Amino acid sequence: MAKGDVIGHGKETQFSSENQPSPEAKKKGWQKKRLLKDLADILLQGDKLNEFKKLAKDLGIDLTDDEMTLEVAMSLKQAEKAIEKGDTSAYNSVMDRLKGRPQQAIDHTTKGKV
């Protein structure tokens, strides 16, 4: 990146020694992250864990408890929704995750004019 390039908030760099979050903002960020981690742990316990493991087994995937993360559980639910309900949006999400989002052609010839 060249000097003088603007990144965000009109500044050359997003974070510099002068542009740092306050200690209160850092603390809130860490609290939010811990809260989300706790929520993920709660969602992967008991009946919910068994539900996700059954879903994985139904899809032909053998997972241990350690392999079952919130990301894996959410991906399983998307795959189930795509397969069971024929949900095109869920299918696209799963395929984008597996194979990467297809490149889209952009027409630069009109310069934003129709």
Q: What are phi and psi of 43, to 5 degrees?
A: -65, -20
Whole-number Å distance between alpha carbons of 84 and 78: 10
pLDDT in tens, 20-54: 888 898 899 999 999 988 888 888 888 888 888 88
Whole-number Å distance between alpha carbons of 65 and 44: 9
Partners of 8 in the β-ladder: 11
pLDDT in tens, 14-26: 667 777 888 898 8
Whole-number Å distance between alpha carbons of 35 and 37: 5
